[in-house]
Amino acid sequence: MLILLLAMACSKAQLPLGVEPVSTLEVTAIDPEGRNVDSAKVFLNGKLVGMTPYRNEELKAGLIAIRVEKEGFRLFTSQLVVQQEQTYSIEAVLTPLDPTEGELLITVNQDSALVKVKDANDNVVVETYERTSKHVLPAGAYVVSAEKPGFPMAVQAVNVVVGQTVSVHLELVDNSQPPSLDFQVVEDTVEVGSMVTLTWQSDGVRVIIDQGIGERGPSGTEQMVCTQPGTKVFTATAYSAEDVATERKDSVYVVPKTVIPPTLEFDASPDTLMFGEPVFLQWHTNGFQVAIDQGVGLRGPDGTEEVVFQNPGKKVFTAIAFGEDDT
């Protein structure tokens, strides 16, 4: 690899305010005998920008990764720290591949990941911790893997082809991301003693809901009775396989139950009677029972009854109807 740095003239034109100084990059490719290799692909920071011979007159300062590739040749890679208002020339030497070989370019999205390449016999032929690596291998089938603590292993099968460069990119996905969780109390307001409905949906492995409900699966619906008035807050917590949690809250307002007393029709007849004659009681209610004093006691919601008194005087009967809630 040959890198030439050509210094700019000492006197520099004054740039307009707000214009960032740029540099120039020239990339050419040759074979080991010095012959030009035209139409090789040029990549800057992983992006295809052109073919050799390549020239870029708007290069900004910073670190850039350069890759030059062409079928039938081994990859050329380099890094360059670009400074302001400079001209850089890179001559990439491309070595022809062996007639039985191909090249494998491996990239991985995480630092310090262990990358392995196994052949068809499950033998490890490559082992590296580099995020970007290139390897000349005999043509054939391989399995490329990347692993790192805290991440599930990424695996990809690949065929290395004679005279070609095959690229493989492995993505290690961070499993520490919290699970999603949608949690809702369906009703806004309920009466004491009424059912409240909870629904939830998560991409985690389990959900725990307070207020005595407990652990449930990642999605579901459940009902419970609210026995006390006031605002009742429910908290649901979803957990991933790695026990990373997501919490959601929702509430329902519980109002006292509206008490409607039962109806009651009650009559004692006749209004006046002779000593020893019976008085006839008659009642009807939409409740479930009626209590009548003067020794009559509890009766059903509808009925008639005769009562005979042994003593003269005014008798007052009181009937009380009871509903299901003892109203």
> What percent of the chain shows pLDDT beyond 90?
51
300 part of a folded domain: yes
User: Is residue 88 domain-shared with residue 28, that is, in the same domain?
Assistant: yes
CA distances from 57 to 54, 60, 86, 145, 299 (A): 10, 9, 10, 39, 105
The answer on pLDDT for 15 being more than 60 is no
Q: Side chain identity at 107, as an amino acid letter?
A: T
pLDDT of the residue at 229 = 92
pLDDT of the residue at 152 = 85
User: Is residue 86 domain-shared with residue 149, that is, in the same domain?
Assistant: no
CATH number, domain of 231, equals: 2.60.40.10
Picking from 255, 279, 304, the residue at the C-terminal end of a domain is 255
For residue 183, give the H/E element and its range. strand 181-185
User: Is residue 292 domain-shared with residue 247, that is, in the same domain?
Assistant: no
273 half-sphere exposure, CB direction, 13 A CA radius:
18
User: Is residue 225 domain-shared with residue 275, that is, in the same domain?
Assistant: no
pLDDT of the residue at 7 = 35
Beta strands in 121-244 (DSSP E): 124-128, 132-138, 140-147, 154-160, 165-170, 181-185, 189-191, 195-202, 206-209, 214-216, 219-225, 230-239
Tell me the C-alpha distance between 190 and 229, whole Å.
9
222 part of a folded domain: yes
Q: Residues 207-254: pLDDT tens digits?
A: 999 999 999 999 999 999 988 999 999 999 999 887 889 999 999 999
For residue 190, give the H/E element and its range. strand 189-191
175 part of a folded domain: no
Tell me the C-alpha distance between 312 and 128, whole Å.
114
Name the band, by pLDDT with cuts 50, 70 and 90, for residue 6. very low
Counted domains in the chain: 4
67 part of a folded domain: yes
Q: Side chain identity at 212, as an amino acid letter?
A: G
Residue 213 sits in which domain range? 181-255
pTM value surpassing 0.85: no
- CA 280 from centroid of its chain's CA atoms: 75
Name the band, by pLDDT with cuts 50, 70 and 90, for residue 18. low
On whether the CB atoms of residues 190 and 254 are closer than 8 A, the answer is: yes
Determine how many CB atoms are found less than 10 A away from the CB of residue 10.
Answer: 5
248 part of a folded domain: yes
Tell me the C-alpha distance between 179 and 167, whole Å.
32
User: Is residue 300 domain-shared with residue 223, that is, in the same domain?
Assistant: no
pLDDT of the residue at 5 = 37
Q: Residues 114-130: pLDDT tens digits?
A: 999 999 999 999 998 88
327 part of a folded domain: no
Query: Could you tell me the strand order of the sheet in which 76-82 lies?
Result: 47-51, 41-44, 62-69, 76-82
What does the radius of gyration of the chain's CA atoms come to, in whole angstroms? 44
User: To 10 degrees, the CA torsion angle through 222, 223, 227, 231?
Assistant: 70
